[in-house]
Amino acid sequence: MSLREDVQHPVMDLQGQHVVLTAGGTREPIDPVRFIGNRSSGKMGFALADAAHARGARVTLITTVPPPCPDVYDRVQYVETVADMREAVITACQSADVLLMAAAVSDFRVATPAAHKVKKQGQRVVLELVENADFLLELPDTFVKVGFAAETQDLLENARHKLVRKRLALICANDVTAPDAGFGVDTNRITILHATGEQEALPLMSKHAVAHEILNRVVPLLRETIRHGRQEWV
């Protein structure tokens, strides 16, 4: 059995639900030519978008890189910086039932980007970096929020801290130093941490299969939210 053959045809258990997803890595400008960014390829986010679409969801994909099949989604919005992504996510989540934050959002930005291309002057160029605010903390707890923790050390400890601080229902943690589960590959090996304290370590799978495993855990949480009545934003 191939890694991609371990997924059965999904049931339409997200029919009529609005799923907002983010994918790719944000870019923060140094000058009009250069930027600081990260190694995210967007593959995990695209796999989640495909899986949600296959299960009947209305999909809004907010991405920094073009997806392979953009026409299958209800809306694709391209962004670049964290500020761009913040605006797009907050707007889309006004009607969201689920948010899947698979994008690698830059923790830092250049304090004062140069207005023109920085030229070589035979000396060091020192960049002052400032932290980007975590816009997930601006979102209400009125829908199911799932985050991702791409770590290089203390995987579970760091993921658990993010789960609590960001008020997530689930967080999916993976060690990006692993050659078969890091950036730019078609497979992943994640541990899912639940807000309830449960912890599930999944074996190596295709990102397509991982996406369905994540949604298998999102659907019951969504049903619980619907059963208790989805509150509107104030």
Does residue 208 contact residue 187 with C-beta atoms inside 8 Å?
A: no
Residue 118 lies in a domain: no
Q: Which CATH number do you get for residue 31?
A: 3.40.50.10300
In a domain, residue 110? The reply is no
Instruction: Evaluate whether 101 touches 145 at the Cβ level (below 8 Å).
Output: yes
Segment 7-44, tens digit of pLDDT: 555 689 999 999 999 999 999 999 999 999 999 999 99
Gap between the Cα atoms of 93 and 83, Å rounded = 15
174 lies in a domain? yes
Say if 213 falls within a structural domain.
yes
Q: How far apart are CA 118 and CA 48, in angstroms?
A: 39
In a domain, 121, yes or no: no
Residue ranges making up the domain that contains 31: 14-104+127-227
Q: How far apart are CA 217 and CA 210, in angstroms?
A: 11
Does residue 114 form part of some domain? no
Q: How far is CA 44 from CA 35, 50, 80, in A?
A: 23, 10, 18
Structural domain contains residue 50:
yes
208 in Cβ contact with 51 (< 8 Å) = yes
Position 234 in a domain:
no
User: Across the strands, what pairs with 100?
Assistant: 21, 146
| Amino acid identity for residue 234 in this structure | V
Per-residue pLDDT of the chain (234 residues; tens, 9 = 90+): 334 445 555 689 999 999 999 999 999 999 999 999 999 999 999 999 999 999 999 999 999 999 999 999 999 999 999 999 999 999 999 999 999 999 999 999 999 999 999 998 888 889 999 999 999 999 999 999 999 999 999 999 999 999 999 999 999 999 999 999 889 999 999 999 999 999 999 999 999 999 999 999 999 999 988 777 655 544
Residue by residue, DSSP assigns 186-221 as SEE--EEEETTS-EEE--SEEHHHHHHHHHHHHHHH
Closest CA to 55 of 92, 19, 83, 80: 19
**Which phi and psi angles does 183 have, rounded to 5°?**
-75, 145
Decide if 38 is catalytic: yes
Number of structural domains, the chain?
Answer: 1
Q: Which two tokens stand for residue 185?
A: 């590959």
Q: Amino acid identity of 3?
A: L
Determine the pLDDT at residue 234. 40
